[in-house]
Structure 1
Amino acid sequence: MGDTNDPEHRSTGDPQLDKEVHRWMSWDRLSSPPPLPVDLGGSGSGGGDGSSGGVLMLLLSLQNTWTRAQVEVLLGGGGLAELRSRLCSRMSFGTAGLRAPMGAGFSRVNDLTVIQSTQGLYSYLCRCFPDLRVRGVVVGFDTRGQEESGCSSQRLATLTSAVLLSRNVPVHLFSSFVPTPYVPYAVKKLEAAAGVMITASHNPKEDNGYKVYWSNGAQICSPRDKEILQSIEQQLEPWSPSCWDEGLVKTSPLRTDPLVQINSCYMDDLNALCFHRGLNRTCPLKFVHSSFHGVGHAFVQQAFQTFGFALPIPVPEQKDPDPDFPSVRCPNPEEGESVLELSLLLAEKEDAQIVLATDPDADRLAVAEKTAGCGWKVFTGNELAALLGWWMFWNWKEAQPVAADSQKVYMLATTVSSKILQAFARVEGINFEETLPGFKWIGNRIQELTAAGNTVVFSFEESIGFLCGSLVPEKDGVSSAAVVAEMASYLHNKNLSLNQQLHNIYQTYGYHVSQTSYVICNDPPTVQRIFSRIRNFDGDGSYPKSCGGVQIVHIRDVTKGYDSSRPDGRCVLPVVSSGHMITFTLQNGVVATLRTSGTEPKIKCYSEFCATPGCSEPSVLGAELRRITATLLDDFLEPDKNNLIGPNS
């Protein structure tokens, strides 16, 4: 019957939960099994004296003390709802891989779920790559998690490597923390089969994640994500104690450290994005850089050296890695001025004109510029994309012969990002394409386009994720920081600020004023009912025809694969049935997208007024955009009727 005081055999009254508790306790072992057999029977080493059974029982009972303690507390304290949340569901791949709080449970990031994920990934890679044991896998990590919690990124990367090494797969494991873009860059450079980055980017300190890159260097997307999840679910029980053997990364001849090679190659390749090195060397501007307690400091310093700049001034309190992120309320530079306080204070003290901030894994970049009125302009992701898009195309054009074929030049953006690049492409005669939200879609499209002989000069997503050129099929804060510095230096030499040039761009290509809003809904059936109503707004299968008195001229419903702007009514973007996303194009130039979040209980609204060139009244455009957005949220979502919570509620 079992010891009722043993958590593994204690009944919760819920047979399904009891089963999951038993599985968790059986599988969640310590990272290092005993190096030598231990004779628990005390009389010998074979037969029926109990010693081999005792050794086996010892191996099975050695469990991660941190995660085991969490489950014991929840069992003892009656936290059954929390236990169900942790044990009766699993993490799934979202727009940024597997990501969740660290802690015990199949829906959390911990030793066991990382081992399970790697076992499933290995099995899937075996089916896809007959030469897996030649190509190997790249593994990197950021600086998240305390060692005492047992969930530090380095430890989880080591366990990821141990699973692969135990199956004789070569592992290119970085010996120190690296920016997230280094993993996909290394996958391509080393011709590896795949890459794994242990990171939760700019999420709260409690979180960690497991991001997977394919052999083309891009993040996995559908259908591979679903196929890998299925493979994980078929490999849940740990194969052997060696899966926890962290010592394998030190003893296995199949483990290599790519840090020096990849860092050197990356900085060499970065030269392709530097167009004005001579001007950079004499640049009078000062730059402040914050790495937000993450990995970016040393890499941004090296990137500046590569471009010929003096080193940026680091924010001392945020220069070194710290998984507690003690100086910011949230480690996300996208939050703007409220989290850039230390950077701006230092810039004032040092008389620096530009502030650059990379997020903790250095794949995103925030930028602020000192204005003539002594305040600070913090650029949105859409605004910075307008500047970088202009800069990258202008320099590409300057470097080309007269007969260069602009029809083979592309810019990319996610569909919820600004349409400024579309306006730019229309005027300049180049190509613009949208992708689904998430840089994984951009990364894969870059690979397809470049393989066909095209040039992708710039790509972005509105959440301050940028890629200049096609150095790596992932957003990259390190290279973007150096490119922004060079652009600022060049403009300063022309007596222009970044903000002044932004307005020049808008005057030429049309002002694009953006707004992002959201409401919270914790009830999935309500979300389903809201979007069903929108799709049957004026009768069965009829979408809304107007918003705020303005005619809706086009509807695109990615969930249903419908696009009214196309002759065949079929959406070019892939159908995504796991969530809802509908885009409305209004007659006055407003484009608004309602979308459910893949990671939060939110319905997000991305709206933008895309004005024609020559309009010089952005304040008027902004007022009209706010009116349309408020009407859309009220009429289409009915927040009061559906008990939705606004951001300021």
Structure 2
Amino acid sequence: MCETTTDTGNPSLNKLIEEWLRWDKNEKTQDELKELVARKELAEVERLLNNRLLFGTAGLRGRMGTGYAQMNDLVIIQTSQGLAKYLTAVHPEAKSEGVVIGHDSRHNSHRFARLAAAAFLNAGVPVYLYSKIVPTPFVPFGVVQLGAAAGVMVTASHNPKEDNGYKQSIEENLEPWQDAWDTEKAVADSRLSDPLVEMSGKYFTKLSASMLDRDMNQASPVSFTVTAMHGVSHEYMEEAFKVCGFKPMVPVKEQMVPDPDFPTVKFPNPEEGKSALDLSFKTANENKSTVILANDPDADRLAVAEKQPNGQWKVFTGNEEGALLGWWNWQRCQRLSPHIPASDCYMVASTVSSKILRAIANKEGFNFVETLTGFKWMGNVSHGLMKQGKTILFAFEEAIGFMNGSEVLDKDGISAAMYVAELATHLAKENKTLTDQLQEIYKMYGYHICNNSYYICHDQDTIRNMFKRMRNFSGKDTYPESVGNGRFKVAAVRDLTTGYDSSQPDKCAVLPVSSSSEMITFTFGNGCVLTLRTSGTEPKIKYYSEMCATPDQGDWKALEVELADLVNCVVEELMQPSKNSLIPKAD
């Protein structure tokens, strides 16, 4: 270990350093801090110790390393202790119901999960700890099946390899409890059990039973290439193909074994599209597959690509997948449950996702609900509707997250893959493709064209100033009235950071408001809806835009051109003062 003095000349910083070294029992992160102090990198030391990781849309997530501002053993212990303390206070039944804990294949995930288990056991809460890597959906599935009080998944999903995450809430409870570091004692505790065999069996039994026609699946003429993206999904997808009746999948062999270093992809995020799917295209072409199914590393999301007649690959956007799966779930409902009235059926989507489900609902008679971004919102809304006896058919977010039915009240890349495979098989019987069906959906319900992307920005001041400027555009508390030299008029503004909504009679937003995140939506006179928001999990400023045509509006190309022009004007005029600090999405 490094020998160093903790005297920095700053008493408050000295106290933070001494506190960390007293509480942290991990030699690696202790040494990292000592080396920073020895090198007199005091600004960095203060940044790491004087700030804590914040919860975003998908939990606590960040780079691994020393300090409260990064992911490490001590932060996991503190977070787990805080959650355990909070949970037992507001829900005393947790001491009998227990919590479900799972983890992915990233560096330190196995250890983080066991440190979390130790905290809950120390608080008197039984633990269902999956003994090996599992897809994220297995945690919410286990919570429901086991009647547990809460669930925790240790994963950074699709973030870079240096990141890890812990999906739950935190209360201040910082000093490690007795036995907080003793994972061996935790694993040997009689109150800890492994639910893997039972939950895996139930999950795949229910998935198999949900299929429309297993004989049709067995006879499918479609060959599916599947990638686990070096994550957890390979063996689970193999089992899914088997129990749902499909012929064996074609795996991307270079990516089927879990590897926390992700050697074949810079960003293990299938949402990035073609840049993340090169090996999938190669494997599919070599094996004459026409459909690619790609999970992210923790298998809660799904990307889909289909080979076109010209030999090129179309990678569907999350909104396009949402249109296909939404339509398919409605067709399935009509076939499997014709006794359920449309008025009792619901589909859900986040506010930045396409409104295609709303268009389908308006024509077919079922209900559509919009929520804030993130499945914590969609899952809660779905749970509330189910308690009222309603049927949840489908929920999705544009970031390739899909919830088919209500067995898992969260996004699930395994079941989504099976529903896409089932749809592709059904269409193949009619000599149609997924691409064909997407065009038919637009003809039936109206063309929905989206233009979404993001900029990377590591400077929080730049981000704050950008949104502050939008809120004080031509004076205090004024928003832009147009862009493009007046060509695109702003008809309404909704600011879910401040709670302002000009479209409401009382000017107050209907959706929940969060002052800790930036999110402004502009509705333009031409019908375009465009949202600018900060990511809850990554250093990104995202924009989402959509224009919707009526079914009889034929000039789709003109609509695309108009939307692209409007988006360019928004980027140039509303983000321009900050553009030097913004890195655009790589092609």
Flag whether TM exceeds 0.5 (same fold).
yes
1:408-557 alignment runs, 5 A limit: 408-548=344-484, 549-557=487-495
The answer for the alignment partner of 1:115 in structure 2 is 77
AA aligned opposite 1:566: Q
Q: Is the 2:6–2:18 contact (alpha carbons within 8 Å) kept by the matching residues of 1? A: no
Q: Is the 2:290–2:307 contact (alpha carbons within 8 Å) kept by the matching residues of 1? A: yes
Q: Is the 2:293–2:302 contact (alpha carbons within 8 Å) kept by the matching residues of 1? A: yes
SS in 2 for 1:570: coil
Matched, 1:104 2:42: no
Q: Deviations over 1:547-578 (max 9, x none)?
A: 33133222222122233333333322101111
Q: Which moved more, 1:170-179 or 1:10-19?
A: 10-19
SS in 2 for 1:196: strand
Q: Deviations over 1:493-540 (max 9, x none)?
A: 110000011011111111111112334555544444433333343554
SS in 1 for 2:77: helix
Matched, 1:185 2:123: no
Q: Is the 2:307–2:314 contact (alpha carbons within 8 Å) kept by the matching residues of 1? A: yes
The answer for the alignment partner of 2:57 in structure 1 is 95
SS in 1 for 2:231: coil
The answer for the alignment partner of 1:574 in structure 2 is 512
The answer for the alignment partner of 2:165 in structure 1 is 209
Looking at structure 2, the residues matched to 544 and 127 of structure 1 have their Cα atoms a distance apart, in angstroms, of 46
**1:429 CA drift (Å):** 1.7
- Which of residues 293, 298, 301 is equivalent to 2:235? 298
Q: 1:457 to 1:581 in 2, by over 3 A?
A: same
Looking at structure 2, the residues matched to 531 and 165 of structure 1 have their Cα atoms a distance apart, in angstroms, of 44
RMSD (Å), alpha carbons: 1.9
Looking at structure 1, the residues matched to 259 and 458 of structure 2 have their Cα atoms a distance apart, in angstroms, of 33
Segments of structure 1 that go 5 or more residues without pairing to the other structure are 30-63, 146-151, 213-224
Q: Deviations over 1:333-384 (max 9, x none)?
A: 1111111111111111111111111010000101111111111111111111
Q: Which moved more, 1:548-557 or 1:327-336?
A: 548-557
AA aligned opposite 2:136: T
SS in 2 for 1:172: strand
AA aligned opposite 2:13: L
The answer for the alignment partner of 1:382 in structure 2 is 319
The answer for the alignment partner of 1:52 in structure 2 is none
- Which of residues 494, 512, 524 is equivalent to 1:586? 524
Matched, 1:85 2:81: no
The answer for the alignment partner of 1:24 in structure 2 is 20
Looking at structure 1, the residues matched to 259 and 455 of structure 2 have their Cα atoms a distance apart, in angstroms, of 32
1:142-161 alignment runs, 5 A limit: 142-145=104-107, 152-161=108-117
Q: Which moved more, 1:278-287 or 1:547-556?
A: 547-556
Q: Is the 1:333–1:340 contact (alpha carbons within 8 Å) kept by the matching residues of 2? A: yes
Q: Normalising to structure 1: TM-score of the pair?
A: 0.87
Looking at structure 2, the residues matched to 519 and 480 of structure 1 have their Cα atoms a distance apart, in angstroms, of 28
Q: Which moved more, 1:601-610 or 1:439-448?
A: 601-610
**1:269 CA drift (Å):** 1.6
The answer for the alignment partner of 2:154 in structure 1 is 198
- Which of residues 146, 168, 183 is equivalent to 1:246? 183
The answer for the alignment partner of 1:276 in structure 2 is 213
Q: Which moved more, 1:123-132 or 1:547-556?
A: 547-556
Matched, 1:325 2:276: no
Report how many residues are paired: 583
Q: 1:383 to 1:452 in 2, by over 3 A?
A: same
The answer for the alignment partner of 2:535 in structure 1 is 597
- Which of residues 15, 19, 24 is equivalent to 2:11? 15
Looking at structure 2, the residues matched to 597 and 430 of structure 1 have their Cα atoms a distance apart, in angstroms, of 31
Q: Deviations over 1:221-277 (max 9, x none)?
A: xxxx4xxx3x2x2x211111x111111244211111000000011112213531122
Q: Is the 1:507–1:615 contact (alpha carbons within 8 Å) kept by the matching residues of 2? A: no
AA aligned opposite 2:156: A
Q: Is the 1:184–1:195 contact (alpha carbons within 8 Å) kept by the matching residues of 2? A: yes
Looking at structure 2, the residues matched to 211 and 386 of structure 1 have their Cα atoms a distance apart, in angstroms, of 28
**1:310 CA drift (Å):** 1.0
Q: Deviations over 1:155-186 (max 9, x none)?
A: 11111112222333211011111000101111
Percentage of pairs with the same residue = 48
Q: Deviations over 1:373-407 (max 9, x none)?
A: 11111111111111000000111122333x64212
Looking at structure 2, the residues matched to 635 and 265 of structure 1 have their Cα atoms a distance apart, in angstroms, of 53
Looking at structure 2, the residues matched to 580 and 153 of structure 1 have their Cα atoms a distance apart, in angstroms, of 30
AA aligned opposite 2:51: S
AA aligned opposite 1:376: W
Looking at structure 1, the residues matched to 469 and 49 of structure 2 have their Cα atoms a distance apart, in angstroms, of 34
Looking at structure 1, the residues matched to 93 and 236 of structure 2 have their Cα atoms a distance apart, in angstroms, of 33
AA aligned opposite 1:133: K
Q: Is the 1:273–1:483 contact (alpha carbons within 8 Å) kept by the matching residues of 2? A: no
**1:481 CA drift (Å):** 0.6
Matched, 1:312 2:308: no
Looking at structure 2, the residues matched to 648 and 208 of structure 1 have their Cα atoms a distance apart, in angstroms, of 22
Looking at structure 2, the residues matched to 169 and 528 of structure 1 have their Cα atoms a distance apart, in angstroms, of 41
Looking at structure 1, the residues matched to 540 and 128 of structure 2 have their Cα atoms a distance apart, in angstroms, of 38
SS in 2 for 1:68: helix
Looking at structure 1, the residues matched to 458 and 119 of structure 2 have their Cα atoms a distance apart, in angstroms, of 37
Q: Which moved more, 1:268-277 or 1:525-534?
A: 525-534
Looking at structure 2, the residues matched to 388 and 239 of structure 1 have their Cα atoms a distance apart, in angstroms, of 47
Looking at structure 2, the residues matched to 249 and 236 of structure 1 have their Cα atoms a distance apart, in angstroms, of 19
Q: Deviations over 1:203-224 (max 9, x none)?
A: 1111111112xxxxxxxxxxxx
- Which of residues 602, 618, 621 is equivalent to 2:559? 621
Looking at structure 1, the residues matched to 574 and 220 of structure 2 have their Cα atoms a distance apart, in angstroms, of 51
Q: Is the 2:58–2:536 contact (alpha carbons within 8 Å) kept by the matching residues of 1? A: no
Q: 1:273 to 1:568 in 2, by over 3 A?
A: farther
SS in 1 for 2:529: strand
Q: 1:469 to 1:106 in 2, by over 3 A?
A: same
1:57-96 alignment runs, 5 A limit: 64-96=26-58
Q: Is the 2:58–2:537 contact (alpha carbons within 8 Å) kept by the matching residues of 1? A: no
SS in 1 for 2:167: strand
Q: 1:624 to 1:441 in 2, by over 3 A?
A: same
AA aligned opposite 2:483: C
Q: Deviations over 1:87-131 (max 9, x none)?
A: 111112111111111111111111111111111111111102222
Q: 1:183 to 1:103 in 2, by over 3 A?
A: same
The answer for the alignment partner of 2:175 in structure 1 is 237
Looking at structure 2, the residues matched to 158 and 646 of structure 1 have their Cα atoms a distance apart, in angstroms, of 38
Q: Is the 1:273–1:469 contact (alpha carbons within 8 Å) kept by the matching residues of 2? A: no
**1:302 CA drift (Å):** 1.2
Q: 1:318 to 1:472 in 2, by over 3 A?
A: same
The answer for the alignment partner of 1:162 in structure 2 is 118
Segments of structure 2 that go 5 or more residues without pairing to the other structure are none
AA aligned opposite 2:125: V
Looking at structure 2, the residues matched to 236 and 623 of structure 1 have their Cα atoms a distance apart, in angstroms, of 54
**1:595 CA drift (Å):** 1.4
Looking at structure 1, the residues matched to 424 and 558 of structure 2 have their Cα atoms a distance apart, in angstroms, of 29
SS in 2 for 1:612: coil
Looking at structure 2, the residues matched to 539 and 615 of structure 1 have their Cα atoms a distance apart, in angstroms, of 39
Q: Which moved more, 1:266-275 or 1:324-333?
A: 266-275
